[in-house]
Structure 1
């Protein structure tokens, strides 16, 4: 890269220098010998310049792309490690914009702008040294104009940076809006709100257009401003240089060589000014990236690894205004259930157990050990969960079932699919477990997606199994059959079931009744029917 930049700069200076012998020796002195030699040197100069540019382009692109690849990996790693609290507070489009659009802006700096800036600065230094060598007096009148350009350019740079930041934020808004639209396309079509959503997007797009146009206006001022300054400088050179030629103090060739160098000098100066303003966009993107990378997680990782969970205890656990002094325990071989109206705190309790969030007070113990002391990865590998929201990846059924496990075993996957009554529809597919599922499982029904998610949890073979409304999309017959199949699987495991359909949890060892963040009843199905009016209301509705 350094060779390419240096070769390009030297060749540029040589281009100005060769003007002197062309005019003085060939055209004025009519030197025939040099007529045949100088053009060869001219071709050689441009050959060196071309080779230098090639090497610079290749190596800077290679370095830039490797930096961007590493940065994108680090950003994704950071996002994946961030607390759920932060991820839920930020729009998906904002995160996508930072990991894609912002990094592309940084790539533009590293791969394109920085090498070009380096080359132009070296070229400027070479040409400045050359014009001073040619004529210190003329070079003074040439360079005296330059300091006057710094102040207006610095003002434009500040405005460009502010505009770039707003542009990046608005770009994130557009990505967020598109993500929202594509994720909710079914509800949009079912409510015939395509025009409404299009109008909302057009407004966002219009705002982005105006901000981008403002950036174009600011950037567009750089070149005309530098043209005016360069014309003033060249005018001074013609006045004072012309006097020197008339007075016999400078040859015509030397003057035009000097004038060529001045012309070549202002071209890289204009480019540096333009690059400096363009870089404000990349600097703003870099600041957004650094801001993300510097976010500190509130949830700190533990150090202890576990390979099994024999007992889970919640001791007077509270969290925000959602949970208030929750206490319960469950040991291996037991199956408990959480029931109650929506918003009662059932899923939040599970989120605390998964350490998606940390409780505000109380203790959560696993085999007598505080949950904060356990490595988060180790904790979650010992818990298989089927959440209310079903997650299906754009991959084969086999890979979806085996997702999160260390090995992909087709026989084990088929066994899991059979246990959750999914093998019946999977076996009828042309490619069976190797069938490619569409994004979000769009080529499956709601019940089929739930059974794939259930099979994934069974495949993991973890000591703790959590089913959060895991069969809500299934009919009673299929649901009953699945729970019959899983009876042997439930043995020697900790099983926690969250359900609104009480028929699925009647045989639980204990049922915890949640209401407004508190446990207001505990017992078997029969005990709660006898003693809890709230449970009877849930049962009879």
Structure 2
């Protein structure tokens, strides 16, 4: 339970006012519950028995015996004046009023606890999403997307269903149990002490069973992450699955994981469903022992409690049984929910490797240029870049060429600090990028990638993405520069056309031109083009290349290209091989050298 209270300390502080109201309403509900039960005792004693009549009024005080005597006195007067029948009706009316107030305050307590519960779940979801946005790209290359989605959805749902559904029990039941125990002590100290001995034994047995749930539940949550991972991979690669007739193989793989998940959940749910019958069985044993012990006290005359008071005592004890059983059920649920929260906490507590320095500097323009100074970088052990030095003056275009895996994409990913260099430094206008504000640094740059990343939204919102002051006129102007306005206007809904998941309703050339329009609208000083035309047909490539040339005019540009024809006019071309720059120069200079670039050029010419 220590982990449960740690979670509560983390998420409950914003709801202190609701917690205060919840405690007050639960306390009032418990007091009126005791009041309703307590009225039964004088009703039984006075109305049904002449021996319990009281004809003297005691001095008012907070002494329980004096309060009891005065209550009996007024009921005796009521009986003498109106007779047993009407007296019974009057007492019944008080019982109804007490029950109304009890249930009314119980509802108000539940009303406030719902606000707390849903507020905490909302905060948890928001914190996860915020953390996903803050975590470096490297974190997601090491984790399965399906597992992250499972933690953000299924695990949060499990926390809501298990831990947060039990929150109401922990806000209400301690108050109820405390008030009922005080009332039981007032009825009989000896009987209540006996209950204190018997109940913990039953609670210990239930707690031992509940502890085993956490491990099994964690296995189930991990397996669900694997299932969602397979589904995500299948949806992303469905074309390949069908092309290679691999439906049976994927189905067998998924079936095996589903079978494992079924076995885990069988164990988990069978153990969880043991909570109710076990608590009911143990509760019955406790009641039988209590009735035997109380009956013995009454029959032997060793205690001051009488038969009517013992019946009232049992009524209050039954009021304790339901909260106690709810505690046992909550224990099972919480263990299950804690396993899900542990997986969520793996994200919430993940280290944000890309952090902003305390006195980071602001920057809003590029004045001199960019310099890579002896940069070395490795994802794991083997370096991807080795001692790379490049100078990019403002307004110049440099191109990066070389075989796949030579370090070109890593080179440009280091500039906006998607990753941090291991050795060396990257400087903008002579300032290390680690000393700049991350938002300002990335605001200097616009990206156009090989795989145009569009969101399931309108064309307008995709072009205006990340630009706060976008207007329809500016969006249309950006689309014209990107050679996109013509095809956008041909759609029935124009700029309000939905592009579908990842832009699936558009062709590759259309997606790429919208991506270019987005970069045009941002109007960044530095432009990064990563294989922007490699996946296009000839006609689309021509349109996109024209748009890129307009975009690159008078900008500092870094272009990654496999098609050397697209970078012939670059001011400087850097040839990468195994993480190092092996050649540098213009197109003509590199061809004359007859080295790596010349070989690549000849292969493409052929």
TM-score in same-fold range (> 0.5): yes
2:202 corresponds to: 149
1:301 corresponds to: 356
2:573 corresponds to: 511
Q: After the TM superposition, which residues 134-533 of structure 1 pair with which residues of structure 2 at under 5 Å, given as runs?
A: 134-246=187-299, 250-302=305-357, 303-309=360-366, 310-320=368-378, 321-533=383-595
Q: Distance in 2 between matches of 1:14 and 1:205?
A: 54
> Residue 10 of structure 1: CA displacement?
2.3
Report the secondary structure of 2:388's partner residue: strand
> Residue 273 of structure 1: CA displacement?
1.5
Q: 1:6 aligns with which of 27, 39, 45?
A: 27
Q: Distance in 1 between matches of 2:549 and 2:272?
A: 70
> Residue 411 of structure 1: CA displacement?
2.2
CA deviations over 1:479-513 (Å, ceiling 9, x no partner): 33443454454232111111111111111111111
Q: Distance in 1 between matches of 2:174 and 2:136?
A: 44
Question: CA separation of 1:482/1:37 partners in 2, compared to 1, >3 Å: closer, same or farther?
Answer: same
Q: Distance in 2 between matches of 1:485 and 1:114?
A: 58
Q: In the alignment, is the contact (CA less than 8 A) between 2:117 and 2:167 conserved in 1?
A: no
| Bigger relative contact order, structure 1 or 2 (CA pairs below 8 A, ≥6 apart) | 1
> Residue 88 of structure 1: CA displacement?
1.7
Q: Distance in 1 between matches of 2:162 and 2:33?
A: 23
Q: 1:60 aligns with which of 97, 101, 113?
A: 113
Q: Distance in 2 between matches of 1:391 and 1:8?
A: 56
With structure 2 as the length reference, what TM-score do the two structures score? 0.84
**More deviation, 221-230/492-501:** 221-230
Q: Distance in 1 between matches of 2:540 and 2:282?
A: 81
Q: In the alignment, is the contact (CA less than 8 A) between 1:419 and 1:482 conserved in 2?
A: no
> Residue 360 of structure 1: CA displacement?
1.5
Report the secondary structure of 1:327's partner residue: strand
1:49 corresponds to: 102
Report the secondary structure of 1:145's partner residue: helix
Report the secondary structure of 1:31's partner residue: helix
Q: Distance in 1 between matches of 2:523 and 2:231?
A: 38
Q: Distance in 1 between matches of 2:247 and 2:36?
A: 61
Q: Distance in 1 between matches of 2:149 and 2:265?
A: 20
Report the secondary structure of 1:395's partner residue: coil
| 1:107 aligned onto 2:160 | yes
Name structure 1 gaps, 5 residues minimum. none
Q: Distance in 2 between matches of 1:243 and 1:81?
A: 68
Superposition RMSD in Å: 2.3
Q: Distance in 2 between matches of 1:446 and 1:299?
A: 33
Q: In the alignment, is the contact (CA less than 8 A) between 1:13 and 1:123 conserved in 2?
A: no
Report the secondary structure of 1:405's partner residue: coil
Q: In the alignment, is the contact (CA less than 8 A) between 2:464 and 2:521 conserved in 1?
A: yes
Q: Distance in 2 between matches of 1:447 and 1:352?
A: 28
> Residue 524 of structure 1: CA displacement?
1.4
> Residue 282 of structure 1: CA displacement?
2.8
CA deviations over 1:177-202 (Å, ceiling 9, x no partner): 33223333333333343343333233
Report the secondary structure of 2:198's partner residue: coil
**More deviation, 265-274/479-488:** 479-488
Q: Distance in 2 between matches of 1:15 and 1:199?
A: 62
> Residue 147 of structure 1: CA displacement?
2.3
**More deviation, 10-19/206-215:** 10-19
Q: Distance in 1 between matches of 2:286 and 2:426?
A: 76
Report the secondary structure of 2:152's partner residue: helix
Question: CA separation of 1:166/1:28 partners in 2, compared to 1, >3 Å: closer, same or farther?
Answer: farther
> Residue 464 of structure 1: CA displacement?
0.7
Q: In the alignment, is the contact (CA less than 8 A) between 2:448 and 2:519 conserved in 1?
A: yes
Q: Distance in 2 between matches of 1:26 and 1:105?
A: 53
Q: Distance in 2 between matches of 1:498 and 1:344?
A: 11
Q: Distance in 1 between matches of 2:386 and 2:306?
A: 94
> Residue 247 of structure 1: CA displacement?
5.3
Q: In the alignment, is the contact (CA less than 8 A) between 1:507 and 1:525 conserved in 2?
A: yes
Report the secondary structure of 2:389's partner residue: strand
> Residue 414 of structure 1: CA displacement?
2.1
Q: Distance in 2 between matches of 1:439 and 1:487?
A: 29
Question: CA separation of 1:206/1:41 partners in 2, compared to 1, >3 Å: closer, same or farther?
Answer: farther
Moved over 6 A (4+): none
**More deviation, 518-527/345-354:** 518-527
Name structure 2 gaps, 5 residues minimum. 1-21, 51-82
Q: Distance in 2 between matches of 1:316 and 1:364?
A: 9
Q: In the alignment, is the contact (CA less than 8 A) between 1:480 and 1:504 conserved in 2?
A: no
Question: CA separation of 1:444/1:311 partners in 2, compared to 1, >3 Å: closer, same or farther?
Answer: same
Q: In the alignment, is the contact (CA less than 8 A) between 1:8 and 1:119 conserved in 2?
A: no
Q: In the alignment, is the contact (CA less than 8 A) between 1:10 and 1:126 conserved in 2?
A: yes
2:58 corresponds to: none
> Residue 110 of structure 1: CA displacement?
6.5
Q: Distance in 2 between matches of 1:534 and 1:239?
A: 96
Question: CA separation of 1:48/1:108 partners in 2, compared to 1, >3 Å: closer, same or farther?
Answer: farther
Q: Distance in 2 between matches of 1:519 and 1:247?
A: 100
1:116 corresponds to: 169
Q: In the alignment, is the contact (CA less than 8 A) between 1:142 and 1:262 conserved in 2?
A: no
